[in-house]
Amino acid sequence: MDHFNYRAGLLHAEDVAIPEIAGTVGTPFYVYSAATLRRHFQVFDDALAGMDHLVCYAVKANSNLAVLKLLGDMGAGMDVVSAGEYLRAKAAGVPGERIVFSGVGKTREEMRIALEGGIRQVNLESEPEMLALQEVASSLGVTVPVTIRVNPDVDAKTHEKIATGKSENKFGIPIARARGAYGETAAQPNLRVVGVDVHIGSQLTDLAPYRAAYTKVAELTEQLRADGHEISRLDLGGGLGIPYEASNTAPPLPADYGAVVRETVGQLGCEIEIEPGRLIAGNAGLMVARTIYVKQGEGRKFLILDAAMNDLVRPAMYEAHHDIVPVIAPEPGLEQEHYDIVGPVCESGDTFAKARSLAPVGPEDLIAFRSAGAYGAVMASEYNSRPLIPEVLVDGDQFAVVRARPSYAEMLARDAVPDWL
């Protein structure tokens, strides 16, 4: 469920009409609904009710400071994968005790920043990384709570680029090697083993892979405890999928996911951490664009938009589907046309959708991409020297620009031409 609905024939974000925002900030832009973000966080928090838990929002999904502040103010923890994300979470007012540091290649410099600012735990992904963290922690004279991310060799049955839990993926330590790695970690003077971490992939639409992975984590936890480790936390990762196509069956609900958590690891008495990103932010955002031209091609019509793959890369990168809707609801009964919906970037890959049916669209019409709140703005680039597009947050009847569109001058000013040239 989200808060983007038609009222009197106009698409709204909560109580604000999309054309009003377009009139203020120009197109294209991202718009996020505060009510949807709050609701999705709450749904996860409720799904784990009765268990000691912390929902650590995966910052990578949407790292706008306003989004982080909104969630942080509700008590969310944060899952970060870089010093940049760590500093964003801190800048949004989230205390270090609620920030977990994940990621397969943390540099010593990033570790130092997190340890100096305070961190709830570091999720280690390899033995060399463990030794590096020991070195940094010792140089700062601190002890760091750590988990080890294990790779359970489970097929998440999602797009291959976002599956992370198979043994061929670069993530985590093979679960078969975990006990040894825990032994080595526990022997480090500045590391304190607190738990086990796992994350098997993103946009999961089936609970079975979670059940399989969490069952392995439960077995491992018992072995590790028998080995003398104190395992008091389980970080179960993120990845629960969202409905990208209104016409498809919806993925399992957070409540069903919560039931799997209870069933597989509930008996262990551990504090549960989860790291949802997409499910919190995905359906809380739209990308709104304007048609520049409608071009008749050979046997097809192209809708050429002012947004492109550099603004929303998911279709080009993962063949991802986003529902695309007109901002002004069409008259009922109009015959649908088929459009290839594309951006102006000079690559054929700059295609958002092929043969998509829509009521007739004309130049200057506004159209909206649904489910663009996660992995949208954060993955944008300035390819083709197109400035990053602005982000807007709506809360009830108010809205604010939470990231402004840079001017061309600002974009150019970041480059420097050496004076010897």
Binds ligand LLP by CB under 6 A, chosen from 32, 375, 391, 402: 375
H helices of 252-305, in order, are: 254-265, 278-281
Q: Taking the complex as a whole, how short is the minimal distance between the CB of residue 156 and ligand LLP, in angstroms?
A: 10
Active site residue 346: yes
Q: Which stretch binds ligand LLP (CB under 6 A): 185-193, 199-207, 208-216, 219-227?
A: 199-207
With respect to ligand LLP, which residue has the nearer C-beta, 238 or 343? 238
Kind of pairing, strands 53-58 and 271-274? parallel
| Binding positions for ligand LLP, 70-109, rule CB under 6 A | 79, 102
For residue 309, the Cα-to-chain-centroid distance in whole angstroms is: 18
Q: For residue 201, is it left (φ>0), alpha (ψ between -120 and 50) or beta?
A: left
Do residues 265 and 232 make contact, with C-beta atoms less than 8 angstroms apart? Answer: no
With respect to ligand LLP, which residue has the nearer C-beta, 27 or 158? 158
Binds ligand LLP by CB under 6 A, chosen from 51, 162, 294, 328: 162
Cα–Cα dist 119/86, whole Å:
9
Which of 1, 187, 226, 346 is labelled catalytic? 346
| Binding positions for ligand LLP, 216-255, rule CB under 6 A | 237-239
Q: Does 207 bind ligand LLP (CB under 6 A)?
A: no
With respect to ligand LLP, which residue has the nearer C-beta, 113 or 279? 279
Q: Does 377 bind ligand LLP (CB under 6 A)?
A: no
Residue 16: other Cβ atoms inside 10 A: 19
Q: Does 61 bind ligand LLP (CB under 6 A)?
A: yes
Number of residues that bind ligand LLP (CB under 6 A): 21
Burial of 163 (0-12, 13-18, 19+ CB in 10 A): buried
Cα–Cα dist 84/319, whole Å:
28
Looking at the DSSP assignment, which residues form a beta bridge with residue 305? 291
Where on the chain is the footprint of ligand LLP (CB under 6 A)? 58, 60-61, 79, 102, 162, 199, 202-203, 237-239, 275-279, 314, 318, 374-375
Could you list the active site residues? Answer: 346
